[in-house]
Amino acid sequence: MTEDDAGPRGPFGTRSRGTLGVIATGAAASGPALNGLRAAAREHGYVLVVFGVPGRGRAALPAAVAGLLLQGVSGIVVLDPHLAAELPLVDGVPLVPAASADQSAGARRATEHLLELGHPTVWHLGGPEDGPIARARERGWRETLENHGAEVPPVVRGDWSARSGYRAGQSLAVEPGVGAVFSANDHMALGLLSAFTEAGMRVPRDAHVVGFDDVPEAAYFEPPLTTVRQDFVAAGRQTVAALAARIDGVATPVREAVEAELVVRESSRCLRAG
């Protein structure tokens, strides 16, 4: 459990509004969605206490809530909205799922973009099969191919890390007919690009690659990565504003989806060699 001590404080060191709890699963405990929440919390005069649980940590959720309540939080955000329904009700302490980009819609944009470049199909480097975000992105990819009457290749799985993307890239580089790959996140796409380069495949000359998240480093990959950008600051503001309203006694719904934007860079900008 960690506390964001950089939040605004009063003249005697007291917090100006209070403390918000965040329950984060897996990699989300240190990811950009959490940074967006921190920025929004500061704007509203809150600090955050973060309770991380394992990716399959449903059994740990009641303990996470109890731990946050001991910290005197005024409200709780669940970074994985799919787990929010499984959390116990807490009297007097509002609990909301975090707003996020529409994951399936973002995946559809990425897959449509690659099909529009003339590829007969798009391969998918997916995240962990049991992860709700990975499943949503895979669903958007699969539905897009089916809607276009395109063949749906088998999913190649990673664990969100660049290392797993590299291993997937090694297998895809020897797979006949791989000309377009949609990676479920940018870090796996980085490993994929490295493996393709080692195998003598140049992107975008020999294949096109699109990622997801638009991490700060994506513009500096070699080549710069086309990706789906999530506005984590906007999502954090929506979440904290709704939670702050509920703390003040106003029943405000959280608009869970924010628009995802396709950012086109060199990894898909040029036509492949004939």
Quick one: DSSP state of residue 268?
G
**Strands 257-258 and 100-101, bridge-based pairing:** parallel
Residue 208: pLDDT above 60? yes
Quick one: DSSP state of residue 15?
B
| pLDDT tens by residue, 148-164 | 999 999 999 999 999 99
| pLDDT range class, residue 187, cuts 50, 70, 90 | very high
Predicted confidence at residue 12, as pLDDT, reads: 28
The pTM of the full predicted model, rounded to 2 decimals, is 0.79
Predicted confidence at residue 223, as pLDDT, reads: 96
Residue 167: pLDDT above 60? yes
CA distance 95 to 43: 19
| pLDDT tens by residue, 108-166 | 999 999 999 999 999 999 999 887 889 999 999 999 999 999 999 999 999 999 999 99
CA distance 141 to 260: 14
φ, ψ of residue 192 to 5 degrees: the values are: -60, -45
If you search the block for the tokens 């608009």, which residue do you land on? 255
Any bridge partners for residue 169, and if so which?
Answer: none
| pLDDT range class, residue 228, cuts 50, 70, 90 | very high
* Mean per-residue pLDDT, 62-86: 81
Start-end of H helices in the chain:
32-43, 61-70, 81-84, 103-116, 132-147, 162-173, 186-198, 232-247
